[in-house]
Amino acid sequence: MYRIARVIGNNFVCSVGEDGQEVILRGLGIGFRKKKGDIVPPATIEKVYALRDERAKSKLMELVKDVPTEHVAVCTEIIECAQQRLGKKLSENIYITLTDHISFAIERKAKGLEYKNGLLWEIKNFYPNEFSIGQHAIEMVHDRLDVQLSEDEAGFVALHIVNAELDTDMSDMVKITEMIQVILKTVRNYYGITLNENSLDYGRFITHLKFLGQRIARRETMEGDDEQFQRMIRDRYPRDYICAQRIRTYLEKQFHCNLSEEEMVFLTVHLRRVSGSKE
């Protein structure tokens, strides 16, 4: 049983359940002519937002005051679909960032304004699973709201999802995507090869670079004390280690970070695999 703690709007209320947890309830007319202490009829509840992050919960309360309820509903559906398809929970901040983005995109579309996504190619190639979800999100917006958003928006949705996977902010996510682009170009030029973007090793390399970017953004380091193993990798794969050094030089200049030797070892191993190096 839920009692109203605060009315947010006609279709949203803040409530406290029997377990004492504060939640946001969504439902058509759920807050209309209601007051604090009123019991919420279960049949009126369409969605319970049980966010653990207090900042995210507070921001969502503010956002739903200004965003049409149908926009919130379809974005919630998109987020739940993304979590199901990825098999993981996303950062709760996505309820704010994605809802705000899609609602604004719908408003721009109504005014005949659309943003081009300068990273669309990179998003398609670096984050194919998330881009597929982004495409499905655009279909859902069209089906539910009769608004046709562009493929560029599918790319933006994908970025928001990756951002929520890594729990970074959007500006960092853009930098990480650009970082991956530069590193892949460095690898192609160094080895003089065309990378097989459909290979398992390529997918693993992209995943490694995503988390490398996350560590750089958070100023975290990958530490390890197995000096014998580190030396063995350097000695056994000198060509790949030199490529890793070039990547480290770029990262140090661009992001003012210092890759640990453990980080270099893992980068070298991934380079060895993705390049198909035989020496």
Segment 24-54, tens digit of pLDDT: 999 999 999 999 999 999 999 999 999 999 9
Name the residue among 171, 155, 185 with its Cα closest to residue 247: 185
172-275 has the same fold as 53-167: yes
pLDDT 10s digit of each residue in the chain, 279 long? 899 999 999 999 999 877 888 999 999 999 999 999 999 999 999 999 999 999 999 999 999 999 999 999 999 999 999 999 999 999 999 999 999 999 999 999 999 998 999 999 999 999 999 999 999 999 999 999 999 999 999 999 999 999 999 998 889 999 999 999 999 999 999 999 999 998 999 999 999 999 999 999 999 987 777 788 889 999 999 999 999 999 999 999 999 998 999 999 999 999 999 998 655
Order of all β-strands in the sheet with 12-16: 39-40, 2-9, 12-16, 22-26, 47-49
- The pLDDT score that the predictor gives to residue 41 is 93
Q: What is the pLDDT of residue 35?
A: 94
Please list, in sequence order, all residues whose beta carbon lies within 8 angstroms of the beta carbon of residue 103, skipping any fewer than 6 positions away: 67, 68, 71, 72, 75
End-to-end CA distance of the chain: 67
The per-residue pLDDT for 277 is: 64
Predicted pLDDT at 278: 53
Dump pLDDT digits (tens) for 158-206.
Answer: 999 999 999 988 899 999 999 999 999 999 999 999 999 989 999 999 9
What is the CATH architecture assignment of 1-50? Roll (2.30)
Q: How far is the C-alpha of 78 from the C-alpha of 266, rounded, in Å?
A: 35
What's the confidence (pLDDT) of residue 106? 97
Question: In the chain, what are the domain boundaries?
Answer: 1-50, 53-167, 172-275
- Fold category of 53-167 in CATH: PTS-regulatory domain, PRD (1.10.1790)
Rounded to whole angstroms, what are the CA distances from 79 to 76, 94, 133, 193, 260? 5, 8, 9, 38, 36
271 membership: H or E segment, kind and range? helix 261-275
pTM to 2 decimal places? 0.86
CATH number of 172-275: 1.10.1790.10
